[in-house]
Amino acid sequence: MICAMQHTWRAARLPVLPVSCLAIARMGAHQMAEAVQHKKTVLKSVKEIPGPPTFPVIGCLPTLFIFGMTYPMKSIHKMFLDLSKKYGPIVRLENPQFPPAVMVTDPIYIEAMIRITMDNPLRYGFFSLKKIRYEAIDNYFEKKGGLLVENGDEWWRVRSRVQTPMLRSKNVSSYLPEVDQVTLTFVERMASLQKQHGEMPKDFQTELYKWALECVGLVALNRRLGCLASDIHENSEPMRLINLVNDLFKSLHQNEFGLHLWRFFPTKSFRTLREKHDEFLRLADSNICETEKLLSARGTENQEITLLERLLMVPGLSRKDVVTLILDMLFAGIDTTSHTMAFTLYLLARNPEVQAKLQQEVDTVVGKHDGPLTVRHLAQFSYMKAVIKESFRIFPLVIGTSRTLDKDLILDDYLIPKGWSVLGINMATGWDEAYFPRVKEFVPERWLRHKPLGPIHPYAVLPFGTGTRMCIGRRLAEQEMYVFLARVMQRFTVDYQYEDIEGLTSMVFVPSQPLRFNLTERS
């Protein structure tokens, strides 16, 4: 495939390329022309890439509609798998709702796409959310949609100012003792639920939402929200936030993956998204105001500065910028970590030998330590990190990642022109035996340093994205997940005896079945 980068995981997968994708990704137009001439390569048009039939104006919408009819909206990810099986690892998709695109599943192609767009990572999507924020009646967002929806200079203006406060290890670890305490409280609640129901109740996913919101509230709002109170009621503020986030993900999924008629008139799904977003904004903003009052009243003597305070002090960031970031932290920080932990517990329950090995690591690392978990503890959880990576492979958070090209890119002798998008479908990559031997098995060992099942391409599984557009909350999310698994494995053995769980699509993947885990206290 690639002259200087022959990898064992690529054997017999695709024809040999005369020009390196990665080399092309680093070239300018002049250098690219010289390289092509030197290799005597005749580049093929993007129109020659295999794909569903394309018609004037409507593009490939008829085919996508037929594919989409095969699966309900909650299984739309299977459409991408079918397209890949039918047309191969690079597929042309011309849909008038989006920029013209090629869909790729080969990790080398995904890497080439990421590298060539590293300096200007344009990511299309969240169009409906951006429209809502731009058209807010009171101009609340001031035509600035935040990191989730923006691109170009406006995205970099915010990203360049928040990535140090959000990703610096010291800032993240300062919340570790409190996240650990929240998790210990939640583990006690799990024990209580086990005693009360004889297993985790059918709505245990909601309990995981409460844990996730309590953790993200500590960081985003610097205070406990009371999510884990035993007498919390459905109309309480935390439960309203959780329900609104669930509704937002469902509505956003319908608007983004369905027909974009909302671009021309406010459809029912778009009105629902706007209504839920406005209500979520009101609740989040009131909580941020409450936090600001508490921070103002406490004084600064002997007080460690909070993340919110750090952000508010960053030159070039307005209060609206910070509020939008906090809003997106609350929005993105509930379903993502809670679903990942749900899937991970399920995989551990279905693979008791893996669970036993993880418990052994937790016992060795934590031992009889009575205090909060420390950074030193988390650093030693090598097998746990492999467990989470393998969970992400089997149950990815999202279908993949995308970039819109601001310069030409060559993939497999095809010239992908500037202005086209490349969709990296990591979901399909992670489920492909060509890249992951024993692909249907839960084998965390494949991620350990010695790579017993062979090398893994670094761009094959990207749950948090990568490069300059990597998820801004990655470090915080990883810390929460390490603490959660450490405390649950320390206390319980988890079992599951019901129907197999699959992933369903709702912007992020969600479990298809109730999480009726059975917990046994460890001696």
Q: Which helix (H) or strand (E) holds 110?
A: helix 107-116
- Least Cα distance to 374 among 386, 382, 366 occurs for 366
Contacts of residue 448, Cβ cutoff 8 Å, sequence gap at least 6: 382, 383, 386
Kindly report, residue by residue over 362-419, the tens digit of the pLDDT: 999 999 898 999 999 999 999 999 999 999 999 999 999 999 999 999 999 999 999 9
Residue type for position 497 = Q
Length of the chain (residues): 523
Alpha carbons within 13 A on the beta-carbon side of 137: 5
pTM above threshold 0.85: yes
What 8-state DSSP symbol labels residue 223?
S
Question: Which CB contacts under 8 angstroms, 24+ apart, belong to 286-292?
Answer: 287/217, 287/221, 287/225, 287/237, 288/221, 288/323, 288/326, 290/221, 291/221, 291/222, 291/223
Kindly report, residue by residue over 181-203, the tens digit of the pLDDT: 999 999 999 999 999 999 999 99
Strand extents, DSSP E, 133-274: none
- Please tell me whether residue 518 adopts helix, strand or coil conformation: strand
Q: For residue 275, with 0-12 CB atoms within 10 Å meaning exposed, 13-18 middle and 19 or more buried, which class applies?
A: middle
CB-CB neighbours of 315 under 10 Å: 5
The average pLDDT across 344-349 equals 98
* Per-residue pLDDT at 502: 95
Report how far residue 156's alpha carbon sits from residue 137's, in angstroms, rounded to the nearest whole number.
26
Kindly report, residue by residue over 139-175, the tens digit of the pLDDT: 889 889 999 999 999 999 999 999 999 998 999 999 9
CA angle, 261 as apex, 263 and 267 as ends, to 5°? 95
Q: How confident is the model at residue 2 (pLDDT cuts 50, 70, 90)?
A: very low
Q: Decide: 357 and 501 in contact? Cβ < 8 Å.
A: no
Distances, alpha carbon 85 to alpha carbons 38, 429, 490, in Å: 34, 12, 42
The average pLDDT across 2-8 equals 34
CB-CB neighbours of 447 under 10 Å: 21
Q: Decide: 453 and 444 in contact? Cβ < 8 Å.
A: no
Q: How confident is the model at residue 6 (pLDDT cuts 50, 70, 90)?
A: very low
Kindly report, residue by residue over 254-306, the tens digit of the pLDDT: 999 888 999 999 999 999 999 999 999 998 888 888 888 887 887 655 567 88
Q: For residue 423, with 0-12 CB atoms within 10 Å meaning exposed, 13-18 middle and 19 or more buried, which class applies?
A: buried
Q: Decide: 388 and 340 in contact? Cβ < 8 Å.
A: yes
Kindly report, residue by residue over 112-132, the tens digit of the pLDDT: 999 999 999 999 889 999 999
